[in-house]
Structure formats: C-alpha cells, structure tokens
Copies of this chain bind each other. A is one copy, B any other.
C-alpha cells in the first residue's frame, strides 16, 4: 500500500480532527478494500443515526491518539 500517513503531527486541533477522520476511514478501507463496495454502503449508512454516532465514536478514539501525539496543541 502506498504511504497515506507520515506523521501524527498537525498544525491545529482541526487538522488533528481531520486526521482522526482519515484514520477512522482507513480502518474501514483496510477491512473492505473495494472502494466500490464502500461507496454502495454509504447512502444507507449515512442516513442512519446510530451508524453516524458509531462513526463519530471511532473518530473520537483516534482523536484521543492524535491529540496526545500533539501534546494537545498546547
């Protein structure tokens, strides 16, 4: 696989949050490598409140890691 992440360092908390989203999506992409299948799953998933909350939970877990890696952008 090509390089998709080089560092957990980001300039701002917002960039860190967006990195957390990337990490959450990569977790899905490694498990289901077909972009086609993932795309087909999206419409239903994105209209289910619990599915969205679940996605938000994974982002929260990665954001803990990214924030720690950046010493909370202090």
Q: CB distance A51 to B49 under 8 Å?
A: yes
Looking across the interface, which residue of chain B has its beta carbon closest to that of A62? B60
Q: CB distance A53 to B28 under 8 Å?
A: yes
Within the assembled complex, what's the spacing in Å between the Cα atoms of A58 and B63?
11
Looking across the interface, which residue of chain B has its beta carbon closest to that of A31? B55
Contact partner of A8 among B21, B42, B47, B73, CB < 8 A?
Answer: B73
Which B residues are in CB contact (< 8 Å) with A12?
3, 5-6
Looking across the interface, which residue of chain B has its beta carbon closest to that of A47? B37
Interface contacts beyond A27-B56, A62-B63, A67-B69: sample of 11 additional A-B pairs, CB < 8 Å, sorted by A: A1-B14, A6-B13, A8-B67, A23-B60, A27-B59, A28-B55, A44-B49, A49-B51, A53-B54, A60-B65, A69-B73
